[in-house]
Structure 1
Amino acid sequence: MNKSLMIFFSLPLLCMSAWADPALTVKKAARPAAANLKVKTSLVPTFEVYQKKVVKGKTEVYKVKNIPLLDLGEEREVQAATLSPLRLPAAAEVKEQEVRRHPPVQALNFAVTPYTLTVENPKQITSAEAFAKIPDVKILNPVAAPVTQEPQVTLVKMDELKPNDYKLLQALIFLEIQKNYELAMGLFAELMDDPEHRIEALYNYAQTAKGMGLNSEFREYMIQVAKETKNKDWQQRATEALVKNITVLQHSDIAMIDPLVSKYELDVTKNDDYQLTRAKYYSEVGQLGLVEDALIYISETSPRYPDALMLSSLLSYRQGKVDEAIINLERLMQITEANKTSQIRSVGALTLARMQFQKSQYKDAFQSYLKVDKSNPLWLQAMIESAWTQILGEDYEGAAGNMFSLHTDFFKNAFAPESYVVRTVGYLNLCQYGDGAEVLNDMRQKYSPWKKKLEAYNSTHKDPLNYYDTVKSWIKNSDLKEVDGLPRSFIVELARHPGYMSVQKQINTYEDEISRFNRIALNLINMERDLLKKQNAASKELADAKTKIGKNSPSEGAVQAIQTAEKKLLSYRIQYHIANKARTSIKNIRAQGLARIDKEKDVLRKAAAKTLQTRFTEMYASLNKVLDQNDVLQYELYSGAGEHLRYQMAGGDVNTKERAELKVQKEKSLNWKFKGEIWEDEVGHYRSSLKNVCPQESNVAGLSEQ
């Protein structure tokens, strides 16, 4: 390598060495540039190199004389190695094999039969006439090319939720998700004053009232929605809610609901409660065709089928179809055999017996009377009527025995003056005149004083509400033997009338609703107290969480504990605010509801009082009639006794003719031998042990027929 090339390569290396070592510096200042610059023969400028060095705390600059060369290391050497000889596997031994030759393949000879068949004429598939009959297909109208437009996107202002919108959303959450009816009711009550949310608030308030058992409140506001709104959607929803909860409505509401059902074409064919309510309403107003139309949808598998049978029977009877009415009632007895204590069975049995009595089917009527349950208020009346059936069926022993059972101490508080008449008539037909006279004497002693008390009460109590107050006073203290001059047994029978009991049941329902309304305010007060306690607990929890942090950097768990406590505290504060506000808003609507209930109760109270007054008049007239008949029966007894004595003195024989007896099965029939005790489940099955001692019909007074 020549000198020029060495100089050329050494200069970059020199520069690289200078930049690589921070201790090496090129001194540029403090000296003239011409003195430091050296130009070699290769025309490459060269500068002197200086280096700083610290000696005893002082920095000294000295010239570097020997510039270190760049050590690139030695070049890697490659040396060839001696190859070992190639080792190939040994050649396999080749064995000789015998070549086997296959026998030669024989050629196959095929006998080819020459094709001699002639080709048939082509088969004609169609004809020119067929082509002529092909209809022409009209050319389709040309389809125009679609016209496209660029989408015109316009911004629309978004309606923001207002405070009442949030309030409505919050109330719906309380109602539908949390089932917190008190808070929901308070919010809906506030929104009723907002015209924009009034209808929706009324609808949901009614649903909230239904959830709390305030049925009359539900009825009031849901009907208000159906009548007030002009929005068809809300009117339809209100109608559907009324149809669904038809059992808590009144029969008269059908007049308003039924047209709306037809208007919105609601399917009510499977709603048996609705159809039954329709049938009852149209029966009350005399639209018998619509009654039949409603009952036809109630199938035999429906729980309402017994009620439908009862109404269908009454419908047939009003149309003069007595036989068809009896068939329906007999069917009612069959399907209620498993539930003999049901109210519908007892009413159906009494109605069936009266229809059979009307058709002179005394034997069947007697058996129907026995199906009236003993716990039913109609049982006593059914027993008296069954005894009359026995009288007309000439079963005098049975009539006398059953009525005698009603005159024991077991029924001493029962008002049944007519039973004495029936028993007397039974004895009269058995020619047991002495027993008949004794029965009349017992009746006179028991009920004659009552007549004076009833006259006094009737003369001093002209207002129908007086009758209601009398019954109410006795109900509050049922141990009293007399109230306002009326005997206890008379008041009991007066209050057992179904007309009064049905109205009183509705009044009691209103009383329960008032209690529920009052309980709402109490629940809200307790809720506020509970939320205050929870607020205090959450505040303490938040303070403890902050105290644990101190001055140290909070951990993730500590931060989460603080956030949880803050959420609890905020939630409890909001709930407390809503509960407090709900109690205030419900206060006004509660006052309105209670005022409405009081008015409706007043109407019902007057109706109940009128029913009691009418019932009192009927019972008073019945007692007067029975007491007036006392003289007639007494005359018949004395007259019959005299004739009987004369007949016996003339040597007449006793009538031995057997009569058909109206009685139960032999194993259930009991001869009456009273010893101071009877069994309630056997009442109606007793028979008198007295025999018929009347003269023979064909031989009166010992004289033969002329």
Structure 2
Amino acid sequence: MGGFMNKSLSILITIPFLCGTALAEPALKVKKGGRPAAASLKVKSSLVPTFDVYQKKVVKGKVEVFKVKNIPLLDVGEEREVQASEMSPLRLPASREVTLKETRRRESPVAIDFVLKPYNDVVNPAKSLTTADAFNKIPDVKILNPVAEPVTQDPLVQLAKLEDIQPNDYKLLQALIFLEIQKNYELAMGLFSELIEDPEHRIEALYHYAMTAKGLGLNSEFRQYMIQVAQETKSKEWQQKATEALVQNINTLETSDIALIDPLVIKHEMDITKNDDYQITRAKYYSDKGQLGLMEDALIFIGEKSPRYPEALLLNALFNYRQGKVEEATIYLEKLMTATDADKTSQLRSVGALTLARMQFQKSQYKEAFQSYLKVDKSNPLWLQAMVESAWTQILGEDYEGAAGNMFSLHTDFFKNAFSPESYVVRTVGYLNLCQYGDGVQVLNEMKKKYAPWKQKLAAYSTSHKDSSAYYETVKGWLKNSDLKEVDGLPRSFIVELARHPAYMSVQKQINAYEDEIVKFNRIALTLVKKERELIAKQNEANKELADAKRGLKGDSPSASTVAAVQKAEQKLLSYRIQFHIAKKARTSIKNLRATGMARIEKEKTVLRAQASQALKGRFDEMLAGLDKVLDQNDVLQYELYSGAGEHIRYQMAGGEINEKERPELKVQKEKSLNWKFKGEIWEDEVGHYRSSLKNVCAQEGQDGSVAGLSEQ
């Protein structure tokens, strides 16, 4: 046992020595270059490693390495001594005596005996919530397709050439801020007018100049330059933007512009199916050109909820009537009457009512036509003509009392300035059919007395005024002083009726729009002058504000709020100075474009005045021919009246009875029907509902249907 322990000990001692030797062996190697290591490792018998220490020294200018034999001891000083001090006796607090109170003892509560009834409830067997077949009916969920790992690639970064912003680029940016953000159209227009001269920015400047003009209400200027952009540019992008602007603002353009815009819309494949304003304009243009197929294509996109739906109904009626489809046209007009029932004073409703009445008159539907004529508004220029036509409808419907009554209302002082010679003819025919021959003769005498002198004046004017522009000047002279009873030999009432015709009024409306645009153009310069004065005042205020803020910059470290106030005042002053400079320069920049725009407007006004003059001359010739025709019928009507009067006297002398036949076909509602006497009052809202109090005193009809007292016409 002892021998075994000795062997074990020797083994344990030997192994550490071998391990130490193995670990120390790499340290005994010499570094490359033949130079000894800084320290060589040696292992003592105590297994404590020791190292040789070497030191560099300079001997005769050379560095040599020497082995240090005696290593000096490290002086770490003496250890700090700690000495305990004497402790004073502890001062503990005095003990307190705690008095314990006796706790009152409580009795335990009486035990309660619970009597439990035996549980005899019958438990039903467990319900089966599912069956085995239910699991078989569960649908299989398809396995999702494997998602492929995303394929990534390194980004291809390419350097692009950075172009410096030029002064005109800054000017364009500034103009866009004025236009789109601040809505300061005058300053924006001044900057854009300068950029138009720059070839690089010309197209973009023209486009934005047109939009600026639109913001100022210069519609013809917008039209001129936006069309110029669409025609001049070679850029598809800018041509499309210009086309979109023209389509969106189609109401400010002319109907003839569709010839230019429509091909561009097709070229750029623009969706215009929801633009009802554009479709209505297209329909009008193609209607004027007689291209009914394209007209129908435009109208088909306008639905019943569209604000332009009533106008589409009228155009659809005209489209069908031009194709000979009178029934379909009538249906569209009846829909128009229903659609405009809430706005009985609209121009569209009056035109539709007159058109519907004429179609019904054409189909001999006199009762329906009469009611349609009454829907023409009294403030409409077509109302007087509608009343005369409705009286003819009453004549053909044998409502002679109504025809005579309504025409009599047009011959009172209320309508003394109205030109309506045909109304005398209708009234005379009404009396003729009532066998009131004396009243008929009196009406003819009134007509001859009033209109025979007019015929001579109109003929003399037509002979002396060959140029159509004279007609325009006559109307213009009367409009300047509407109290004149006669202008250039023409009676006031004749001029009023001449100027109320839609052919002239539509052209004059555009001339008036050009006049308004000239005023707006002149107002731009005045606005800029006013803006300059305001900016000078704001600069003075900003200078004062800046001076007050700088007074607070005392000392080496002013407050942050004071510095911010100074910076804000400086920015405000700089802004006002820049705006003043732009406003001052804008007056000069706009001057040339304003002169060009004025010249263009005057040129277009000249064309429009020529059209208005032609419309007035045509209307004049039409009215003169109508007056000639009415006066020529005077002799024929007098012959019929005197002949009928003689037959009627002979009939009465022979004891004949008058015709008491009732003719209710075209009588209006009883509560609206008014019998008049020659000295009665006429109310404007009751015109069209008057009936003559004269009775029919004609002879009774014979067996063959002939009527005594009336000769065949």
Call closer, same or farther: CA 1:691–1:676 in 2, change over 3 Å. Answer: closer
Call closer, same or farther: CA 1:534–1:147 in 2, change over 3 Å. Answer: closer
Aligned ranges for residues 116-135 of structure 1 at < 5 Å? none
1:615 matched to which residue of 2?
619
1:653 matched to which residue of 2?
657
Aligned sequence identity (%): 75
Counterparts of 1:182 and 1:223 in 2: how far apart (Å)? 22
Aligned ranges for residues 55-204 of structure 1 at < 5 Å? 75-76=83-84, 155-204=159-208
**CA deviation after TM superposition for structure 1 residue 547, in Å:** 4.4
Call closer, same or farther: CA 1:166–1:448 in 2, change over 3 Å. Answer: same
SS of residue in 1 equivalent to 2:634:
helix
Contact 1:310-1:328 within 8 A present in 2 as well: yes
Q: Which runs of 5+ in 2 are unaligned?
A: 1-72, 90-150
Task: Give the alignment's TM-score, normalised by structure 1.
Answer: 0.78
Task: Give yes or no for the alignment of 1:345 onto 2:349.
Answer: yes
Contact 2:700-2:708 within 8 A present in 1 as well: no
**After superposition, what is the alpha-carbon deviation per residue over 1:356-382, rounded to whole angstroms, capped at 9, x for unaligned?**
111111111001000111111111000
Counterparts of 1:566 and 1:332 in 2: how far apart (Å)? 64
Task: Give yes or no for the alignment of 1:358 onto 2:362.
Answer: yes
**CA deviation after TM superposition for structure 1 residue 172, in Å:** 0.6
**CA deviation after TM superposition for structure 1 residue 635, in Å:** 1.2
Task: Give yes or no for the alignment of 1:376 onto 2:384.
Answer: no
1:294 matched to which residue of 2?
298
Counterparts of 2:223 and 2:293 in 1: how far apart (Å)? 28
Contact 1:647-1:701 within 8 A present in 2 as well: no
Contact 1:353-1:366 within 8 A present in 2 as well: yes
Call closer, same or farther: CA 1:151–1:637 in 2, change over 3 Å. Answer: closer
Q: Which moved more, 1:653-662 or 1:355-364?
A: 653-662
1:244 matched to which residue of 2?
248
1:569 matched to which residue of 2?
573
Residue among 474, 481, 488 paired with 1:477: 481
Counterparts of 2:652 and 2:575 in 1: how far apart (Å)? 101
Counterparts of 1:442 and 1:475 in 2: how far apart (Å)? 29
Contact 1:650-1:702 within 8 A present in 2 as well: no
Contact 1:650-1:701 within 8 A present in 2 as well: no
Counterparts of 1:235 and 1:468 in 2: how far apart (Å)? 40
Counterparts of 1:676 and 1:702 in 2: how far apart (Å)? 32
**CA deviation after TM superposition for structure 1 residue 552, in Å:** 7.6
Counterparts of 1:212 and 1:337 in 2: how far apart (Å)? 36
**CA deviation after TM superposition for structure 1 residue 626, in Å:** 0.9
**CA deviation after TM superposition for structure 1 residue 701, in Å:** 10
1:272 matched to which residue of 2?
276
Contact 1:652-1:701 within 8 A present in 2 as well: no
Counterparts of 1:632 and 1:347 in 2: how far apart (Å)? 34
Contact 2:203-2:229 within 8 A present in 1 as well: yes
Call closer, same or farther: CA 1:384–1:557 in 2, change over 3 Å. Answer: same
Contact 1:393-1:660 within 8 A present in 2 as well: no
**After superposition, what is the alpha-carbon deviation per residue over 1:110-136, rounded to whole angstroms, capped at 9, x for unaligned?**
xxxxxxxxxxxxxxxxxxxxxxxxxxx
Residue among 542, 545, 563 paired with 1:541: 545
SS of residue in 2 equivalent to 1:687:
strand
Counterparts of 2:372 and 2:152 in 1: how far apart (Å)? 85
Call closer, same or farther: CA 1:333–1:153 in 2, change over 3 Å. Answer: closer
**After superposition, what is the alpha-carbon deviation per residue over 1:307-365, rounded to whole angstroms, capped at 9, x for unaligned?**
00100001111000011111111111111111111111110000000001111111110
Residue among 490, 499, 502 paired with 2:503: 499
Counterparts of 1:479 and 1:152 in 2: how far apart (Å)? 84
**CA deviation after TM superposition for structure 1 residue 294, in Å:** 0.7
**CA deviation after TM superposition for structure 1 residue 535, in Å:** 1.3
Counterparts of 2:281 and 2:152 in 1: how far apart (Å)? 61
Call closer, same or farther: CA 1:470–1:701 in 2, change over 3 Å. Answer: closer
**CA deviation after TM superposition for structure 1 residue 674, in Å:** 3.9
Aligned ranges for residues 418-433 of structure 1 at < 5 Å? 418-433=422-437
Counterparts of 1:580 and 1:207 in 2: how far apart (Å)? 22
Counterparts of 2:346 and 2:329 in 1: how far apart (Å)? 20
Residue among 625, 628, 637 paired with 1:633: 637
Contact 2:440-2:641 within 8 A present in 1 as well: yes
Residue among 303, 327, 334 paired with 1:330: 334
Contact 1:388-1:399 within 8 A present in 2 as well: yes
Contact 1:427-1:436 within 8 A present in 2 as well: yes
Letter in 1 for 2:209: Y
2:148 matched to which residue of 1?
none
Aligned ranges for residues 390-429 of structure 1 at < 5 Å? 390-429=394-433
Call closer, same or farther: CA 1:447–1:147 in 2, change over 3 Å. Answer: closer
SS of residue in 2 equivalent to 1:659:
coil
**CA deviation after TM superposition for structure 1 residue 551, in Å:** 7.3
**CA deviation after TM superposition for structure 1 residue 606, in Å:** 0.6
**After superposition, what is the alpha-carbon deviation per residue over 1:145-192, rounded to whole angstroms, capped at 9, x for unaligned?**
x998x9886644310000111110111111111111111111111111
SS of residue in 2 equivalent to 1:184:
helix
Call closer, same or farther: CA 1:689–1:529 in 2, change over 3 Å. Answer: same
SS of residue in 2 equivalent to 1:631:
helix
Counterparts of 1:409 and 1:336 in 2: how far apart (Å)? 32
Counterparts of 1:541 and 1:147 in 2: how far apart (Å)? 60
Task: Give yes or no for the alignment of 1:231 onto 2:235.
Answer: yes
**CA deviation after TM superposition for structure 1 residue 207, in Å:** 0.8
**After superposition, what is the alpha-carbon deviation per residue over 1:16-74, rounded to whole angstroms, capped at 9, x for unaligned?**
xxxxxxxxxxxxxxxxxxxxxxxxxxxx9xxxxxxxxxxxxxxxxxxxxxxxxx99775
**CA deviation after TM superposition for structure 1 residue 654, in Å:** 1.4
Call closer, same or farther: CA 1:558–1:425 in 2, change over 3 Å. Answer: same
Counterparts of 1:272 and 1:204 in 2: how far apart (Å)? 25
Q: Which moved more, 1:399-408 or 1:334-343?
A: 334-343
1:260 matched to which residue of 2?
264
Counterparts of 2:364 and 2:440 in 1: how far apart (Å)? 26
2:32 matched to which residue of 1?
none
2:15 matched to which residue of 1?
none
Counterparts of 2:414 and 2:675 in 1: how far apart (Å)? 18
**CA deviation after TM superposition for structure 1 residue 548, in Å:** 5.3
Counterparts of 2:554 and 2:259 in 1: how far apart (Å)? 74
Counterparts of 2:671 and 2:380 in 1: how far apart (Å)? 25
**CA deviation after TM superposition for structure 1 residue 642, in Å:** 1.3
* Root-mean-square deviation (Å): 2.5
**After superposition, what is the alpha-carbon deviation per residue over 1:451-510, rounded to whole angstroms, capped at 9, x for unaligned?**
121122111111111111111111111111111111111010000001111111111111
**CA deviation after TM superposition for structure 1 residue 225, in Å:** 0.8
**After superposition, what is the alpha-carbon deviation per residue over 1:623-675, rounded to whole angstroms, capped at 9, x for unaligned?**
11111111111111111111111222222221233334312112211112243
Call closer, same or farther: CA 1:446–1:230 in 2, change over 3 Å. Answer: same
Counterparts of 2:708 and 2:338 in 1: how far apart (Å)? 52
**After superposition, what is the alpha-carbon deviation per residue over 1:512-532, rounded to whole angstroms, capped at 9, x for unaligned?**
111111111110000011111
SS of residue in 2 equivalent to 1:671:
strand
2:391 matched to which residue of 1?
387
Counterparts of 1:701 and 1:566 in 2: how far apart (Å)? 101
Residue among 533, 555, 568 paired with 1:529: 533
Letter in 2 for 1:353: A
**After superposition, what is the alpha-carbon deviation per residue over 1:568-616, rounded to whole angstroms, capped at 9, x for unaligned?**
2211111101111111111111111111111111111110010000001
Residue among 296, 320, 345 paired with 1:316: 320
Counterparts of 2:463 and 2:300 in 1: how far apart (Å)? 50
**CA deviation after TM superposition for structure 1 residue 549, in Å:** 4.6
Residue among 514, 518, 532 paired with 1:510: 514
**CA deviation after TM superposition for structure 1 residue 557, in Å:** 3.8
Counterparts of 2:282 and 2:261 in 1: how far apart (Å)? 10
SS of residue in 2 equivalent to 1:324:
helix
Contact 1:652-1:702 within 8 A present in 2 as well: no
1:123 matched to which residue of 2?
none
Contact 2:701-2:708 within 8 A present in 1 as well: no
